[in-house]
Each structure stands twice: as structure tokens, then as C-alpha cells.
Structure 1
Amino acid sequence: MELDTIDWKILAELQRDASQTVQAIGDAVGLSANPCWRRIKRMEGAGVIARKVVLLDPEKVGLTTTVFVAIRINRHDAQWLEGFAAAIEALDEVTECHRMAGDIDYMLKLRVSGIADYDRVYQRLIARVPGLSDVTASFSMEEMKFTTALPRPN
């Protein structure tokens, strides 16, 4: 789907605050409500807008610790990957999982209440997933930037 400048302005508004009315978004981008609504529906239909969610403040819900977990594995077969994916999906604390290029095979991002909570998740992970050769955790000291908004590509 080809996105024009107005589409990108609408997307920026939605990424900033998806609870806005269509009228408010239209006003911000220079459109009346109906054309703005049609563009939003077109982008939803095309899958550009994947879903609308509410973002929680992790501090206010007691998830004060962000942990990045680097995983190296010694198995690279489809059966292992299927089991690993299921184990990761079952761990609610894992907010992101990436298959990596380079020395690390997988990188996880977790939100937990503290070090003891991380240890509980770690114990569940190593019990459910055989073939892990190295699991290394790094604890975030300060979140310097956080956004869910995607930039417009050049």
C-alpha cells in the first residue's frame, strides 16, 4: 500500500494518541472527518494499522525492572524452535523476543518487578527449554527513550 504525506500525518496522530476522535485527527492533519475516517479504514484494511492498544505505565503496575536476556543455543532444528517459541509465548513477562544475527541467537526483553521476579522467570525458562548453552541477563538502569511510534521511512 502506498502511503502519502496525509496518511503519515494520520498515522503519527494515531501513534501519539489512538483515543482521539476522527474529527480531532482530521483537524490535526487538515481533513474533514469523513475523508480522514476513510483513510483510517483503508489503512486498517490493508494491515498498515495492525491494532489499537492501551499502553500501561510499568512503574504504576509494579513492573519496575527491565531485563534484556541474551540466549545462545546449541540446537538449531525445527522441533527445538517450536518448543522454544511455545515456551517464550507462555512467559507473560517476555514482552519482546528477537532472533539475532551474530554471536547471540535470541534476545528477550522482559518486564518484571525485580531481581527475584526475574530469577523466577529464569528458572521457568531453563526448565522448559532444553539446549540453552548460555543465558545472560542485563538489567536496565535507566530507560532513556521509549516509544512505540514507528518513524516514516526515508
Structure 2
Amino acid sequence: MLDERDRKLLALLQEDAGAPVAALAEKVNLSLSACARRIQRLEESGHIAGRVALLDRDRMGVPTTVFALIKTAHHSDEWIALFSRAIADIPEVVEAHRLTGNYDYILKVVLPRVEHYDVVYKRIVRKVELFDVSASISMEVLKSGTRLPVEHAE
């Protein structure tokens, strides 16, 4: 069971996973060793799945976002596994979700420019049969982030 210090630590680590343990300990009013033990426990329990560096998309040369909405006529476990393997090998596909509603899947694709979407599209359709693909270009990011709400964690 998590307490308020655990939740505060999780929130702080989402802001800066590279923050020194001493600084975190001070912010949650713990000793250095107690804070380090809590962080280790949160990692071991799976609350902290990993620590990453967030890269600047413009500097990385992939400022364009396209959302590809996919319909398929296939819903077998084998097709889903094939589709998952096909998109796993494409670094421009940074997120993929199975949906309810009119479309079966949505892919978030980051690109150097919109014309590069055709390269990604062809890589997918060479590997797996799709019924319909509709792409939408993001015109503006209104909210983006990786931080999760910590108040619901148990």
C-alpha cells in the first residue's frame, strides 16, 4: 500500500527521474537512506517501470505527428500477433492502441515530415493485410506528457 510520501516521490520522479536522492529526500522529509529504500521498493513493486530520458522531437528530427486509424477484417490471435510484430519493428510508430468503435487500432507515428508517412505505411502493409487506413496530421499539440496521476495508485 502506498502512502503520501510514496505518491510524492512518484510525482517528483516523473518530473525529473535523474534528481539526486538527497534532493528528493529533502522534499518528502525523509533521510537519504529511507528515501533510497522507498525508491528501491517502488521499483521492485513495479510502480516505477523504468527511468528514461525524454528527447526533444524537433532536435531529433521528428516534429510531425500523424495518427493512423486502422480497420481490419481480421481479429484472430494470429493476425493480432502478426500486426504487433509488424509495427514493433518501426521506430516511427511510438504508440499503438486497440480500440472500440469504428476503428480497430490507432497508431501514433512521429515523422521528419508528413511525406515520410508513406514510407511507414508501406512498411506496415507489406507485412500485414489491412482493410482501411485513415491518417490524420496533428496540426497543434494542446497537451502532451508522460506524467501519470499518482493519487489513484495503491
1:152 to partner: Cα distance: 2.2
CA contact (8 A) 2:10 2:150 kept: no
Structure-2 separation of matches of 1:92 and 1:57: 16
Identity across the alignment (%): 44
Structure-1 separation of matches of 2:122 and 2:66: 15
**Structure 2-normalised TM-score?**
0.95
CA contact (8 A) 2:66 2:114 kept: no
Matches within 5 A, 1:17-32: 17-32=16-31
SS at match of 2:139: coil
SS at match of 1:38: helix
> Residue in 1 aligned with 2:36?
37
CA contact (8 A) 2:66 2:136 kept: yes
Return the letter of the residue paired with 1:151. P
Give the total of aligned pairs: 152
Higher helix share: 1
**CA deviation digits over 1:91-127, x for unaligned, max 9?**
1111000011111101110111111211110111111
Structure 1 segments unaligned to the other structure (5+ residues): none
Return the letter of the residue paired with 2:133. V
SS at match of 1:37: helix
**Structure 1-normalised TM-score?**
0.95
Structure-2 separation of matches of 1:135 and 1:153: 37
Return the letter of the residue paired with 2:134. T
Structure-2 separation of matches of 1:29 and 1:134: 51
Residue 11, structure 1, aligned to residue 10, structure 2: yes
Structure-2 separation of matches of 1:6 and 1:81: 41
Residue 78, structure 1, aligned to residue 77, structure 2: yes
Structure-2 separation of matches of 1:153 and 1:129: 40
SS at match of 2:131: strand
Return the letter of the residue paired with 2:115. A
RMSD across aligned positions (CA): 1.0
